[in-house]
Each structure stands twice: as structure tokens, then as C-alpha cells.
Amino acid sequence: MGIGEQLVTVSAVLLGALTTHGTNHLMERSRNRHQLLTRWDSKKVDAYGDYVDATKTRIALAVRVYEVREGLRESERTEHELREELADAGRAWGSAFERVMLLGGDDAIEAGHDLNALVAEIDWQATGRIGGTLAAWRERNRAAFRAINAFHEAARQDLGIQGSVRGEKHPERDLLLPPRERAPAAGDGESADDAEGTGPRP
């Protein structure tokens, strides 16, 4: 075998080795990237879920405070105790949203900001920092309910989950309220008994 043929053979071997190395490097890089994305997606799912849970907990506690303060429901716990529990829930809710801020997609973060503003209004009316009728209270809860669904939608899109929580297959939902048991109270068109269950439910 001449020197020229030997050089061609060596070059072919080197080219094959380089090609194999390059292919393996790209495959390893792609695999590592996929694992990293999967890991962060898992953390996003936890962050989104924890935030929604914390939001619903804060709203539910605000409902208790509101109903006790307005005399719509009796409670073994004092209003002061319920307010302290609501404040604790507010701190947990804030921490949960911080994780959304760190891990979430742009649309999910913006949907969270919109939801936060509504939850704050619910808290403020529950504790008497802003006024409002029972009808206004209900509408704030309805708005929060819709905003939770909007956050779900943004989170699903960020995670690449098919389908939607809204649309033709998912008609508009409303608050779950018990049937009227007596005539509406003057002023707001609704009875005090209807106040039970004013927190949004999916």
C-alpha cells in the first residue's frame, strides 16, 4: 500500500472517529438538555399547584372572616383568631407566588398578577378595609374564580399540556351556592343564607 493510500485510510479513520465523537457529544448534550427541561417542568408543576392551593386557601379563610364579621355564620373561633389564620395564609400565598415568579412562564406570571389583585380585594373586603355589599362580595369571588381558570390556562400552555380548561367543552362555571331558604334581604337582593359557599370552587 502506497503512502497516498495509507494517508487516505488514516484520514478516513480519523474522520469516522471525529464524526462518532461529535454525534455522541450532540446526543449527550441533547439528553442533558431534555433532562434539565424535564426537571424544571416538574418544579413548575409543583410551583403552579402550590400557588393555586395557597390562593384557594386564602380565599376560603377570607370567606370565613367575612361571614363571621358580617354575622352570616357562627363560629367556634373568634374573628381575631380567624384573622390571624388569614394573615398566616397570606404569607404562605406570597411565598408560593415567589416560586411562580422564579420558575413560571411570562403569561403564567401575568395571570398570577391579575389573580393576586382580585384576591387582595377579597381579603380587604373580608377584613373591612374596603366596603361593599354582599353582591359586590360575590362578584369579587366570581372574578377570582375566573382568574384562577385563566391562570390554569396559562400554566397548561407553559407546560405544553394539550387541551384547555375553558371553551366549548368547558362551559362557564359559577359559584356553588345553596338554594334560597327565605326571601332576599333588603338592599342586596339576596338572603343571608346564600352567603355560605361564597368562595370560588373549580
Write out pLDDT tens, residues 69-128.
Answer: 999 988 899 999 999 999 999 999 999 999 999 999 999 999 999 999 999 999 999 999
Reported as a pLDDT band with limits 50, 70 and 90, residue 171 is low
Q: Residue 7 — very low, low, confident or very high, per pLDDT cuts 50/70/90?
A: low
What is the signed CA dihedral for 73, 140, 93, 104, rounded to 10 degrees? 150
Nearest CA to 125 among 176, 191, 186, 199?
A: 199
Q: What is the pLDDT of residues 8-58, one digit of tens each?
A: 676 766 777 677 766 665 666 656 555 555 567 899 999 999 999 999 999
- Looking at residue 18, what is its pLDDT? 74
Given a cut of 60, whether residue 167 has pLDDT beyond it is no
- Cα–Cα distances in Å, from 16 out to 1, 9, 26, 32, 72? 21, 11, 15, 24, 80
Provide the 8-state DSSP code for 170: B
- What is the pTM assigned to this prediction? 0.69
Instruction: Name the residue with higher pLDDT: 166 or 149.
Output: 149
The Cα 190–Cα 201 span in angstroms is 20
Backbone angles phi, psi at 66, to 5 degrees: -60, -50
* SS3 state of residue 167: strand
**80, burial (CB in 10 Å: exposed 0-12, middle 13-18, buried 19+):** exposed
